[in-house]
Amino acid sequence: MNALAVVLALGIATTTADRPNVLFIAVDDLNHWVGYLGRNPQTITPNIDKLAARGVRFTRSYCAAPVCNPSRAALLSGLRPATTGVYDNNNDWRPAISPEITLPTTFRKAGYFVCGAGKIYHEAYSRPSEWDDYLKGVGKDPQPTGDTGVGGIKFAPLDCRDEDLREWKIAQYGIDQLGRKHDKPFFLAVGMHKPHMPWNVPRKYYDMHPLDSIQLPPHRDDDLEDVPPAGVQMAGPKGDHRQILESGRWKEAVQGYLAAISYCDAMLGRLMDAFDRSAYRDNTVVVFWGDHGWHLGEKQHWRKFALWEEATRAPLIWIVPGVTRPNTVCDRTVDFMSIYPTLTDVCGLPTPSHVEGQSIRKLLQDPASPWEQPALTTYRFKNHAVRSEGWRYIRYANGDEELYDERADPYEWTNLADDAKHLAIKAELAKSLPTKDHAAVNVVAAKKKAN
């Protein structure tokens, strides 16, 4: 074990020179359709799977909010949506969250070179002052000619090269930083857009998933019959789903999402190959996370914007020299509010007192360690989901409820909330609901819903 690994294992980093680098990889709209999680056998993600095999991969990891802006604002500030009032894409988080408390600033104050590229915060609201360097001018992706998908669900192959998409430049920025000589530890953030819509990627990625082999995700036509009105409204079955059904192109949409995931995986492969060639392979903490999940027709719902498993579960992988071991699986339930305090913990930095999440360092060291804290996800004002290892409990602002036995019913087809024998389970899970819900803040002109 090298000296840095000993320092990290013992948690005794006291000087800047002792501290590891951080490679912080975010992926937009990536649900649990990755190979190592086994949720969808059609997905092809060799590079994500190889990354997962290098450290600890979590099988029950959940977002703070199933929307790009509040999910990222929560993770990077350490404050949950119910604390800040940042619930949706039309809430400008910047006036609500001081630049002095964020994750990039905490590392910058500790002497790190803090840099990034791509989508880390929601890109509608940027704050360049938090970064020493940030990639600008990535341009726009090429657009397909002719057919572009069904309504708001956008998918079509492109006749172009991998490098014609902005993702190539974002990955290249990370590659270039890894090839540089740094005179102090770095915090390098790389934010991949795909598989965010539109699912327009080079045709070869569509060819990896032939249409005649595409299987629809497990679903039931009557799935919303036991869902209360607030949940049905959130699902919006008469919107995207009805358009997809009427078009007869559900399988094509699934193909598009799978193709976009595979393109993202290829860009991650480029980045990690450069990491392995770099001087920093053995002294860098790597954390890989998706900002939330995505529905593709389950519960007659598309996109995120909901509190069920598909919208809230996303990958989480950690590699910490001297702490994690290869090929380790953790089945404990965590949410992404743990990322900020875990990074400060394993890098030997004090965790700011405002941070609401808990470090999961002990799970990185021993994935079977006791862990009683469930995951909490919030979508808009006073709508919350609590996820333990065995259950999901949803309570909406109007008091409507859903309860699912995740071990017996992993696709959440049977709502048990009205079953009296589960009152104690609901009461226990309800203890993790926020005690205060801040009103929505800083509402700006509506953004495109696909963001």
Contact 295, 308 (CB under 8 A): yes
Phi-psi region of 129 (alpha: psi -120 to 50; beta: other; left: phi over 0): alpha
- Phi then psi for 155, rounded to 5 degrees? -155, 140
- Identify whether the C-beta of residue 231 lies closer than 8 Å to the C-beta of residue 396: yes
| Annotated catalytic residue within 63, 68, 115, 330 | 68
Q: Cβ distance 358 to 373 under 8 Å?
A: yes
Angle (nearest 5°) at CA 225 between 220 and 227: 105
Residue 387 CA to residue 298 CA, distance in Å, equals 18
From first CA to last CA, the distance across the chain in angstroms is 44
Q: Select from 341, 318, 347 the least CA-distant residue to 103.
A: 341
Q: What's the number of CA atoms in the CB half-sphere (13 Å) around residue 287?
A: 25
Which of these is catalytic: 32, 63, 122, 384? 122
Residue 68 a catalytic site member: yes
- State how far the Cα of 7 lies from the Cα of 373, in Å rounded to an integer: 28
Spatial distance between the Cα atoms of 70 and 304, rounded to a whole number of angstroms: 12
412: alpha, beta or left? (left if phi > 0; alpha if psi -120 to 50): left
CA angle 297, 40, 31 (to 5 degrees): 65
Indicate which residues carry an active-site annotation: 68, 122
